[in-house]
Every structure is written in structure tokens, then in C-alpha cells.
Amino acid sequence: MLSEREIIDRLRRQAARVGPGLRLGIGDDCAVLDPPGPGRLTLITTDTLMEGVHFDLAWHPPELLGRKAVAVNVSDIAASGGESRFALLSLAVPPGLAVEVLEGLTRGIMEALTRHRLTLIGGDTVASKGGLALSVTVLGEAAEGRVLYRSGARPGDLIWVSGGLGLAALGLAICREGRVELGRRYPELLAAHLDPAPEAALGPALAASGLVSAMIDMSDGLATDLAQIGAESGVGARVFAERLPLPDSVREAAASLGLDPLPLAISGGEDYRLLFTSPPEAAGRLGGLARLACGGQLFAVGEVVAGAGVRLEAEGRVTDIAFKGYDHFRGP
């Protein structure tokens, strides 16, 4: 078992102590940062992954878990239109946690920090009497006037998602049911749950384009996250089932598991794609922008309407799906 000091030392050796915008990193009571440049704003977000709630070490490789803890925060910064710069890491470690788990975890965290060009500037390490918990805080930056909020959607706007839906929910189902052969056949589903890739480039590109009115990253599922935009913007939404991007892997794996892919696409959380709205006349320019920023594709799945609620139109039937995603205090 590594001591608290050894864990911190290991992280510290890999983290810069000074750098652009950073007066002092790990090692003192506080990290010290310069204010961002003129006309720039600081964005801050935090997310906790709790053993037994958000992950299960029975199937989650520690290295990928470490990457995910960083990635979900980078996703939040990107959803506000920002670029991630600095990270803080709090670890609650149960006694007797295998040293390989801790090593894998720190390796994964460091990999993700490097990939997203983040500097680790501090954190906290404590003993846990429950499970393992990882809490990451990320500080990012955006140009003033280019930050995107949930509150900007207007009736008539189009609703977009930046990639396939339901992948992470199926990846989780495959892990839970121990369907190793399905995992091998559809590695992108496993990856969506175990090792999600945030829209780190697309988020700031959409914000800089000035074409987007509201944005959120999908962590709780389309229905709930769209309801958040609706509630903050004071509008409703109409989603068309046949326009939802359901990759073949989602349809096929769902069939193998005896699941209906549509509810997974609507309520399955954790896909970490961007969900955003734009005035209809921006549609043409948005497509080109996504290809340039990340080689990805955007899908127009519905429209913003006056009023409230999120309605799904499927085969001529209309259902209210607002807040039909995952809620930690209610369960699925």
C-alpha cells in the first residue's frame, strides 16, 4: 500500500510546478494562478466518481477510470465553450486498495492530463472508510462574450447532437451482464462507458463560431439534458425519433441483449456528446465547422418550441420525455 505521501509525490513528479499562467503548482497550501489575459474568463467545474455509484472496479480498468475522471470535467468545460487548463485531484482511498489499482489510476489521470494539455496544480488525498472516490476539478478559459450557457435557446432554433447516442448505456449493460463476446464485437460501446472522449475541440469551436444559442454536454441522457436547456431557457423542445443518431453497433448490441435502442438513446446517460441549439439559418455553416474541428458529424434531432417540456415524436405518437434520464437520487 502506498502512503499518502508517496501518492502525492508520484503525482507531483509528473506535474509542472510553474508554467504559463501558473505561479506555483503542487507543494504549498495553495496553487497560485495569474488571472487569465484581458478579455478572457475563468471557467471552473468539478465532478466526482464514486465506487459503487459511478464505477465498478470489477470491470473498470483503473487506468481508464483515471482517464474518465479527467475527461468528464474536460467535457463540462468544452460544453461552456472553454479550453481546459488546470486540474485539481481529490482521492479518497480505502485501506488495502491494491497498489496496482492506484498505479493504474494515477497513470490514467496523467495520460488524460497530457492529452488535454492540463496541468495538475493540487488536490487532496484522504483515507476512505467506504469505497474509492475520485474528484477532479478543472479550470478552463474562454473569451468573454463567447461562453455558452444552457439559457440561450429560443423558439425556432434547431436542436443538435454531436454524435451517436446510447453507446455508453450499452457499454455499461455489456459490462454488467458480463457479455465478453459483445464487448469484443463492439469495442466502441465499451470505450464509450469505460473511456469516454469529450468534445474538447468541438465545444470551443462551436462557441467561437457565434452560431450556437445554448449548449450542454450529455451526461444524464438526451431527455434530461434537453430538459435542462428547456428549463434554463424557458422553452420547450420537440425531438424526432427517426432523426436520432443510432449507430449500427447500438442497434445490433441492443438486439443481442433484448433491449429497445430508442429508450437507451433518449435516457442512457454518459455519452458526453454535445447537445446544443442554433438558429435554423446557421445549419449549413455548422456542418462544415464540425468536420474541421474534430472530423465529426452533427445531427439535427429536433426543434425548440415555445412553452415547456420535451416531446418525442415517434411513428406519429407524441410522448413527454422531460427528465427521463438518470437521476442519482431517484435512480433510473
Nearer to ligand ADP, 13 or 317 (CB): 13
Taking the least distance from each CB to ligand ADP, the nearer of 124 and 327 is: 124
CB of 45 to ligand ADP, least distance (A): 17
Query: What is the smallest separation between the CB atom of 28 and ligand ADP, expressed in angstroms?
Result: 6
Q: How far apart are the C-alpha atoms of 134 and 61, rounded to whole Å?
A: 14
Question: Diameter of the chain by CA atoms?
Answer: 62
Question: Which residues of this chain interact with ligand ADP, rule CB under 6 A?
Answer: 8, 11, 26-29, 89, 91, 120, 122-125
Q: Among Mg ion, ligand ADP, none, what does residue 327 contact (CB within 5–8 Å per kind)?
A: none
CA torsion sign for 176, 320, 296, 86 is negative
Q: Which residues pair with 90 in a beta bridge?
A: 124, 135
Stretch that binds Mg ion, among 83-91, 119-127, 140-148, 221-229 (CB under 5 A): 119-127
Beta carbon nearer to ligand ADP, 24 or 208:
24
**Can you spell out the DSSP letters for 55-69?**
B-TTTS-HHHHHHHH
In angstroms, rounded to a whole number, what is the distance separating the alpha carbons of residues 170 and 331?
A: 17
Nearest distance from C-beta of residue 90 to ligand ADP, angstroms: 6
CA 8 to chain centre: 26
Contact 93, 7 (CB under 8 A): yes
The least distance separating Mg ion from the CB of residue 90, rounded to whole angstroms, comes to: 9
What is the full DSSP assignment across 265-325?
HHH------EEEEE-GGGHHHHHHHHHHHHS---EEEEEEESSS-EEEEETTEEEE-TT-S
8 touches which of ligand ADP, Mg ion, none (CB within 5 to 8 A by kind)? ligand ADP
Residue 91 near which of Mg ion, ligand ADP, none (CB within 5-8 Å, type-dependent)? ligand ADP
Q: How many residues bind Mg ion (CB under 5 A)?
A: 1
Dihedral over Cα of 91, 191, 229, 142: its sign: positive
Q: Rule CB under 5 A: choose which of 6, 9, 124, 327 binds Mg ion.
A: 124
Closest approach, Cβ 294 to ligand ADP, in A, equals 29
Minimum gap (Å) between residue 44 Cβ and ligand ADP: 16
Binding residues for Mg ion, per CB under 5 A?
A: 124
